[in-house]
Amino acid sequence: MTGGDIAGLIAAGVFAVLVAVIAIPLVKLGKVFDQTTEAIKEATVGITPILEETTTTIREANKQLVRVDAITGNVSEVTGNVSALVALFAASVGGPLIKLSGFTAGVSAALVGIRGGKAAGGAKKSRRKK
């Protein structure tokens, strides 16, 4: 064996050790990937029922919102009807009531003037004389 052969054997041995040293972290990295894959599978198994329950909850909430929307529409319609009824009542009853109240006030003032005109006139004269 020559010196070149021995150097080649030493280089091959060093290369084999280098490959072994690099292989150890690669094997450990492979185990980490296996554990990560297992953790993702477990998380998927745990999350799937939660997502299904969330989907059910959202569907039920949407059903309730449809009902609330219908109720809101009905309340809006009733409010419009009440507003129209109040306007109709004010137009049909309010005008004659105002006229009746004005007429009553006029008659009342006239009656007070007729009945109390003499007494009121005397009271005014007595105030002026003082």
pLDDT per residue over 33-64, tens digit each?
A: 999 999 999 888 889 899 999 999 999 999 99
Please say if the pLDDT value at position 122 is more than 60: no
The highest-confidence range among 7-21, 55-69, 91-105, 109-123, by mean pLDDT, is: 55-69
pLDDT at 128: 47
Take residue 87 and report the two structure tokens written for it. 């306007």
Does 7 fall in a domain?
Answer: yes
Q: How many domains does the chain have?
A: 1
Q: Which residue has the tokens 């306007």?
A: 87
Please check whether residue 120 lies inside any domain of the structure.
no
Distance CA(53)–CA(113), nearest Å, equals 84
- Considering the domain boundaries, does residue 67 fall inside one? yes
How far from 63 is each of 66, 67, 68, CA to CA, in Å? 5, 6, 9
Position 100 in a domain: no
DSSP secondary structure string for all residues of 35-51: HHHHHHHHHHHHHHHHH
Is the residue at 1 inside a domain? Answer: yes
In a domain, 55, yes or no: yes
Task: Please identify which residue in the block is written with the tokens 């450990």.
Answer: 28
Indicate whether 106 belongs to any domain: no
Question: Is the pLDDT score of 85 beyond 50?
Answer: yes
